[in-house]
Amino acid sequence: MSRGSDDRAIGVFDSGVGGLTVLSELRRRLPDERFVYLGDNARTPYGPRPADEVRAFTLESVAWLLGQDVKLLVLACNTATAHALSAVRGRSAVPVMGVVRPGAVAVTAATRTGHVAVVATAGTVASGAYVDAISEADPTLTVAQQACPDLVPLVEAGELEGRRVEEAVAGYLRELRAADPEVDTLLLGCTHYPLLRPIFQARMGAAVAVVDSAFTTAVAVEDLLDALLARGSAGGRGSVRVATTGPVEAFERVATRLFGTDLPPVEAVDLGSLTAVAADPR
C-alpha cells in the first residue's frame, strides 16, 4: 500500500564532521530525499565529556534540527547515540534513529571467528553501548573494545593522514590486538573514523574486515521510510543543507574531502538563538 510522498527533510546530527560519512551514504541510497545536517563543532569532541553534558548538548542541537521541519532524525554520532538516544526520543515528535544498533548488526554479519572489536571514543566505550548491542544481536560473540581519544581531534583538525595519525592508530591497535589476537572484524564505532579507514585497514591487514555503521544506518533509514513514513518525490534531485556551530572554514576544509565540489555552502548556526545565517560567499 502506497503512503504517498513526504518531502520534509531528514535531519542528521553529529558532534562535528564525522557524521558526514553517514550523510554521504544516505544521499547515495536515497537520492530523492532532502537532508539537513548539523555538526556541533564548537563543542567537539563529545567522547571525553560526561554523559550528562553529552545529553544536554545533543538535546540543544536536536532542538535546532526539529525546528527545520524534519520527518526523521538520525543521530550520526556514536557518543550521542550511546548517551542521549532515549532522551532525544522522549523530546522528539518524529522517529529517531541512532548508529549503534546498525553497527552491531554489521559486525555480526561480517565475523567468521566470533571475535570482534570496537574502536570508539572514551565515552562510547565507557557506556558499553556497543557491547550490549552486539551481545543482543549475537550473544556468542567475544567483544573487545579500545578507546581512541586522540583520533576525533585529529580528524576535526583535518589530519587524515601523516605521521601523527598513523602513530596514533598503530598504538591503539597494538593494545587491541594484545587484548584479543583472534579478532577478525573491526567496527569503527565513531563516525569520524571512516575518514581514517585506509589506515585502520592497512594496520589490521587484509584478513580483518573493517566495517562501520554508515551503510547499515542508511539501509535502516530506507526501511523505516518504507515501513512507517514516506519517501521524498524529488525524482533523484534531492537536496542537502550542511550547518555547523563552529568555524565554517575549518568545517569546510574537512568536509570537502568527502563531498568535493558537491559540498553546499555551509551555514553557521547559533544554537543560543536557534537561528542560522548563511556563510559568506567564497
* Annotated catalytic residue, options 118, 143, 190, 220: 190
Look at residue 170 and give its three-state secondary structure: helix
Per-residue pLDDT of the chain (282 residues; tens, 9 = 90+): 346 789 999 999 999 999 999 999 999 999 999 999 999 999 999 999 999 999 999 999 999 999 999 999 999 999 999 999 999 999 999 999 999 999 999 999 999 999 999 999 999 999 999 999 999 999 999 999 999 999 999 999 989 999 999 999 999 999 999 999 999 999 999 999 999 999 999 999 999 999 998 888 999 999 999 988 888 887 777 899 999 999 999 999 889 988 877 889 999 999 875 444 334 333
* DSSP-assigned letters across all residues of 24-86: HHHHHH-TT-EEEEEE-GGG---TTS-HHHHHHHHHHHHHHHHTT-EEEEEE--HHHHHHHHH
- Look at the alpha carbons of 279, 239, 262, 103 in this order and tell me if their dihedral is positive or negative: positive
Does the annotation mark 148 as catalytic?
no
Residues in contact with 129: Cβ distance below 8 Å, sequence separation at least 6, in sequence order: 78, 81, 82, 100
Does the annotation mark 77 as catalytic?
yes
Given a contact cutoff of 8 angstroms between Cβ atoms, the answer to whether 149 and 208 are in contact is no
Chain region(s) in the chain for CATH 3.40.50.1860: 9-98+216-278, 101-213
* E strand map for the chain: 9-14, 34-39, 70-75, 96-98, 115-120, 142-147, 185-188, 209-212, 239-244, 266-270, 275-278
For residues 183 and 203, give the distance between their C-alpha atoms in angstroms, rounded to a whole number. Answer: 13
* Annotated catalytic residue, options 77, 119, 148, 168: 77
Residues in contact with 50: Cβ distance below 8 Å, sequence separation at least 6, in sequence order: none
What the block records as the C-alpha cell of 150 is 586522540
What the block records as the C-alpha cell of 13 is 546530527
**β-strand partners of 13:** 38, 75
Third-level CATH fold of 101-213: Rossmann fold (3.40.50)
Which listed CATH number (3.20.20.70, 4.10.95.10, 1.20.120.1200, 3.40.50.1860) goes with 9-98+216-278?
A: 3.40.50.1860
Read off the amino acid at residue 247: P
